[in-house]
Homo-oligomer: A and B are copies of this chain.
Amino acid sequence: MDQDFKNTLEIMAKDVEDDLLSCFEKPFDAPDIIVSAMKYSLFAGGKRIRPVIMRKTCELFGGDIEDVRALSCAIEMIHTYSLIHDDLPAMDDDDLRRGQPSNHKVYGEDIAILAGDALLNYAMETALVGLQNLSPQQKNNGIQALKILMQAAGVDGMIGGQVGDVLAEEDSEMNAEKLKYIHSHKTGAILTASLLCGAVMADTDSNSLKWIRQYGEAIGTAFQIVDDILDVTSNTQVLGKPAGSDLEEHKTTMVSLYGLKSAQEKVEEYHSVAIQALSNLSIDTSFYVQMANFVCNRVY
């Protein structure tokens, strides 16, 4: 990875971390255990990639990072809640997350369900406080950006993708089209939203938003294929979650459908689509090029 790019990610992630911590400085009118469960997963070493993308995008398109500070904390809370619920015994039943016991292994299923609910809810609260602090001219953009985020997180986006994933386990007729729906919705939607929210808050024109969306969808899909590949080629220690679990669970993945080589070729294809989309933007896109390289060249 390019050193400058790596430094940028680390510095910005540290800034996100501080902001997330400050969201939990206030006293809560609730039993300690629920706040503790929320913090356990939110501060479990996530790379803060979605909030960093949102902030960097806002900056690259000429906006003020202050305007997406709260909203980018919200996207990380939403991402975290989805991981807690995904790991539940009734869902993917994963005991490990980022190398640590998953939320329900520590707090029990009941508290884990409620911690997920609470993080989704607190994401919205946090974003609304941010909305109140925007200048009058920026409020409409703020409402628009928050709507984009909630749509991407909801039934038409991430939740729809997760439902597709749940159904896939029992589906004897899984195919590439259904898998693409899952990939683009489960992961791609929120990733794309992180770009769009940043751009909307920088008052970006609709044509640029279109290309930004295309870039986001391409790297989102590539990211998910790389995930499928890593499950086969990596090991549990590197992944921080059990490797080989897709195969063990007879899960249909890009690798099981196409084989390892074709799956790797598909990553290259989506990489090209992403780079192509960037060529239509009139800003400096080197951050996005490096992001695409990073997503497509992870450790396999």
**A-to-B contact residues, CB < 8 Å:** 28-31, 33-35, 38, 81, 85, 88, 90-91, 108-111, 113-114, 116-118, 120-122, 124-125, 128-129, 131-132, 139-140, 143-144, 146-147, 150-151, 153-157, 159-160, 162-164, 166-167, 185
Given A91-B113, A113-B85, A113-B90, does the pair A118, B154 have CB atoms closer than 8 Å?
A: yes
B residues in contact with A167, CB < 8 Å:
31, 33
Chain B nearest CB, measured from A146 CB (Å): 6
Beyond A30-B164, A33-B167, A81-B117, 5 additional pairs, beta carbon < 8 A? A29-B185, A30-B156, A114-B162, A117-B117, A118-B159
Given A120-B117, A150-B121, A150-B124, does the pair A155, B34 have CB atoms closer than 8 Å?
A: yes
Chain B nearest CB, measured from A252 CB (Å): 15
B residues in contact with A125, CB < 8 Å:
147, 150-151, 154
Copies of this chain, complex-wide, total 2
Max count, chain B CB within 10 A of own CB: residue among A113, A116, A151 = A113
Given A121-B155, A128-B150, A147-B132, does the pair A34, B160 have CB atoms closer than 8 Å?
A: yes
Complex Cα distance A217/B292, Å? 53
Complex Cα distance A121/B158, Å? 11
Complex Cα distance A139/B167, Å? 40
Max count, chain B CB within 10 A of own CB: residue among A33, A90, A151, A167 = A90
Given A117-B120, A128-B146, A154-B121, does the pair A166, B110 have CB atoms closer than 8 Å?
A: yes
B residues in contact with A81, CB < 8 Å:
117
Given A120-B120, A132-B147, does the pair A30, B159 have CB atoms closer than 8 Å?
A: yes
Complex Cα distance A143/B259, Å? 50
B residues in contact with A140, CB < 8 Å:
132
